[in-house]
Amino acid sequence: RSFRRFLVGVGVFGAGDYAHTLLILAATELLAPVYGLVRASQIAALLYVGHNVLYAAASYPIGALSDRLGRRGLLGLGYLLGALVSLGLVAAFAVPVANVGFLLLLFALAGTFIAAEDSLEGALTADLIDPAVRGTAYGVVGTVNGLGDLAASVIVGGLWTLVSPAVAFGYATLAMLAGAVLIYRVR
């Protein structure tokens, strides 16, 4: 029963968890009016490198911290960071904000929330499932994540194209926030 609730939270969050390469497009689009397309693309690529460095650096400490503080709360916090990143992008496109420092903060938070998501979803799965069926459970979580990724790509990409980037990231914010709330409710 707890595992099913966990899967619902993962799935709802996943339905807003767009591919992080979309951050590169967002940063490029926000920075291009100030820096030009080529320079904006270069800055966005460097921001993404920083995102990946922080992801790699944060994964181990987050996993270790979860051994002391518990995984559910930290995963929920990671999901909330994802919602905060998306909300920041809503604001950046609504204003618009072409501030490299602000985008650096969003990319750093995104790297951190991905570290929490990737480190803790599997660990929490292991906590919730009998060892005899863990392999199956990991496969189910992978399937839910894959379906969530597909949904997020279609919905966020569609909203970006048909309405606006702010609306796309607004949707992502709400889905991620709902996923965080559902994860906090897993017992």
Q: Which helix (H) or strand (E) holds 73?
A: helix 71-94
pTM of the model: 0.94
**So what's the pLDDT on residue 186?**
83
Nearest by Cα to 122 from 104, 145, 141: 141
Contacts of residue 61, defined as CB under 8 A and 6 or more positions apart, other chains included, come to: none
CA gap 38, 49 in Å, rounded: 17
- The mean of the pLDDT values for the chain is 96
**So what's the pLDDT on residue 122?**
94
- SS3 at position 79: helix
Contacts of residue 96, defined as CB under 8 A and 6 or more positions apart, other chains included, come to: 30, 33
A 10 A CB-CB count for 9 gives: 26
**DSSP per-residue letters across 107-144:** HHHHHHHHHHHHHHHHHHHHHHS-GGGHHHHHHHHHHH
pLDDT per position as a tens digit, 25-48: 999 999 999 999 999 999 999 999
Q: How confident is the model at residue 12 (pLDDT cuts 50, 70, 90)?
A: very high
Q: Is the peptide bond before 96 cis (omega within 30 degrees of 0)?
A: yes
Domain boundaries, the chain: 2-184
Domain spanning 2-184: CATH 1.20.1250.20: yes
pLDDT per position as a tens digit, 115-167: 999 999 999 999 999 999 999 999 999 999 999 999 999 999 999 999 999 99
**So what's the pLDDT on residue 187?**
79
- SS3 at position 186: coil
